[in-house]
Amino acid sequence: MRVRKAVIPAAGWGTRFLPATKAQPKEMLPLVDTPIIQFVVEEAIASGIEDILIITGRGKRAIEDHFDRSVELETFLTRNRKEGLLSSVKDLGNMADIHFVRQKEQLGLGHAILQARQHVGDEPFAVLLGDEIFVGAPPCLGQLMDVHEGLGGGSVVGVQEVVWEDVSRYGVIRPQQIRDRFYRALDLVEKPARHEAPSNLAIIGRYVLDPAIFEVLAETQPGRNGEIQLTDGLRQLNGSAPVYAYYPDTRRYDVGEKLGYLKATIELALERSELTEEFGDYLEELVGGRKRAQLRLARG
Ligand code: G1P
């Protein structure tokens, strides 16, 4: 069965980006001029998803407004003949069938996913987290959906290799390789200490899940950080319905932390035709100046 529905959890605090996220959702932080969550929604749509449920919480109104129509803004742009901007704003309201549900208490990612139970029902569904964005074709989630379709059941998590120092920031799998880029996940561990990690294949926030996960999550006890973890639910589910892992061929930006966010901003800006030349020259000058200063310092 082709996956039609996707769930995007967006209820977290965004503490890594405080104070910027004190009064605005971290999902609305822009990469050049586009909020992070829009990249995630566009990836879902490019993958063939028709229905999106965004799990929000307190202080997340801006996300709902972003995907709603703004008649006043459209009128203003029409009057001022800003056709390009007008279509970029108008299209947002028609992107897909987007729904919202609130997570009333923040009890963890597993708990956030559980809020989608009624909306998703009894069909396989996708989950996309906003801490990473993937750029380029074919879309990351679409690659996982193709694999899932070929399997005819079970769940598929996206994985990519991370440096060993970073494994404790992720869910990690114990892989049994089946073929190139494709694994059976023999075990899944949420944020293990480096010496306890079964591999450095990290779960990258893209999943295709068997609906049986809901039943499991309803019983899952708080784990790492006292939160109900999706990884723990998948570990449990793995006993009755197999969990696989796929290593998608795609460019990944870790926008959930500052350095990754800055790298994404710069690389995406360099890809914009209206910015690439001037911004590229500026960066070269900046880096060149820094190197010259370092050389001067080294020479004394
Ligand atoms: C979540 C998941 C983790 C996964 C990560 C990917 O962690 O719990 O398994 O590897 O997303 O971004 P979080 O970053 O929300 O702490």
Q: How far is the CA of 135 from the centre of ligand 1 (A)?
A: 19
- Is 134 near ligand 1, meaning CB less than 6 Å away? no
Which protein residue has the closest C-alpha to ligand 1 atom 13? 170
Give the residue-averaged pLDDT of 260-271: 96
Instruction: Give per-residue pLDDT as tens, 119-129.
Output: 999 999 999 99
Which protein residue has the closest C-alpha to ligand 1 atom 10? 170
Which protein residue has the closest C-alpha to ligand 1 atom 9? 171
Q: How far is the CA of 85 from the centre of ligand 1 (A)?
A: 34
**Which is the closest atom of ligand 1 to the Cα of 171?**
9
* 137: pLDDT strictly greater than 90: no
Q: What is the pLDDT of residue 218?
A: 96
Q: Which residue has the higher pLDDT, 8 or 14?
A: 8
Instruction: Give per-residue pLDDT as tens, 77-108.
Output: 888 888 888 887 777 767 778 999 999 888 99
Closest by alpha carbon to 145, among 215, 207, 99, 88?
207
* 69: pLDDT strictly greater than 90: no
Q: CA-CA distance, 208 to 191, in Å (whole number)?
A: 20
Instruction: Give per-residue pLDDT as tens, 149-204.
Output: 999 889 999 999 999 999 999 999 999 999 999 999 999 999 999 999 999 999 99
Q: CA-CA distance, 203 to 99, in Å (whole number)?
A: 26
pTM: 0.93
Q: What is the pLDDT of residue 173?
A: 98
**Do 115 and 213 form a contact (C-beta atoms < 8 A)?**
no
Give the residue-averaged pLDDT of 24-47: 94
Q: What is the pLDDT of residue 35?
A: 95
Instruction: Give per-residue pLDDT as tens, 197-249.
Output: 999 999 999 999 999 999 999 999 999 999 999 999 999 999 899 999 999 99
* 1: pLDDT strictly greater than 80: no
Give Dmax over CA atoms of the chain in angstroms. 70
Q: How far is the CA of 14 from the centre of ligand 1 (A)?
A: 13
Ligand 1 mutation target, pool 131, 155, 157, most atoms within 8 A of CB? 131
- Is 132 near ligand 1, meaning CB less than 6 Å away? yes
Q: Which residue has the higher pLDDT, 78 or 53?
A: 53
Phi-psi map region of 111: left, alpha, beta (phi>0 left; psi -120 to 50 alpha): alpha
